[in-house]
Amino acid sequence: MFTNWITAIKAHDDDVDTLTKLERSERMSKIRSKNTKPERLVRSALHKLGYRFRIHARNLPGAPDIVFPSRKQVIFIHGCFWHAHENCSVANLPKTRRPYWRKKFARNKERDATNVRALRKLGWRVFTIWECETSKPDKVAQRLSRRLGPPGKPSNA
């Protein structure tokens, strides 16, 4: 059902109806935002490199998508549209009802920033990966690996 929705949105990108569909799907975006394709790509690339991690830690601010508890590092994988990725072609502001969307995206960004601040306060290092970067999951995983340190047991565990 969800897949159909997303396909419908993509297929009718220029439809007058699009925004209504987006707004309706927004209500479901909480569900849609977990286990997305970008998340799965990054997770499997990290697995390939030998990393082990937890996912969707609801006990942490913002329920980070990937969590490395002993390294004290978390990763968010953000959809470019909903999280309003700046200067990103995927994150274009819809052509109508712009004030609505501007407000909506500003709220999402503020929420993201609040979560990052809260996590840092708790001593976590936070990395954000954008959906548009995950078309090259191996590249992303290698970049993350430089920040995470070698896979396997971290030296301070």
Judge whether 61 and 118 are in contact, CB under 8 Å: yes
Q: Which is nearer to Zn ion, 81 or 124 (CB)?
A: 81
Judge whether 125 and 73 are in contact, CB under 8 Å: yes
Written as six digits, the tokens of 138 are 């191996």
Q: What is the CA radius of gyration of the chain?
A: 17
Out of 33, 132, 149, 154, point to the residue binding Zn ion (CB under 5 A): 132
Q: Which is nearer to Zn ion, 68 or 76 (CB)?
A: 76
Question: CB of residue 13 vs Zn ion: minimum separation in angstroms?
Answer: 17
Question: CB of residue 131 vs Zn ion: minimum separation in angstroms?
Answer: 6
Question: CB of residue 127 vs Zn ion: minimum separation in angstroms?
Answer: 15
- In whole angstroms, what is the distance from residue 117 CA to residue 133 CA? 23
**DSSP, res 93:** P
Question: CB of residue 85 vs Zn ion: minimum separation in angstroms?
Answer: 3
How many residues touch Zn ion under the rule CB under 5 A: the total is: 6
Which residues inside 72-131 make contact with Zn ion, applying CB under 5 A?
80, 85, 88, 90, 130
- In whole angstroms, what is the distance from residue 103 CA to residue 95 CA? 14
Q: Which is nearer to Zn ion, 60 or 88 (CB)?
A: 88
Q: Phi, psi at residue 156, to the nearest 5°?
A: -95, 5
Indicate the SS3 state at residue 137. helix
Q: Which is nearer to Zn ion, 43 or 85 (CB)?
A: 85
Binding residues for Zn ion (CB under 5 A) = 80, 85, 88, 90, 130, 132
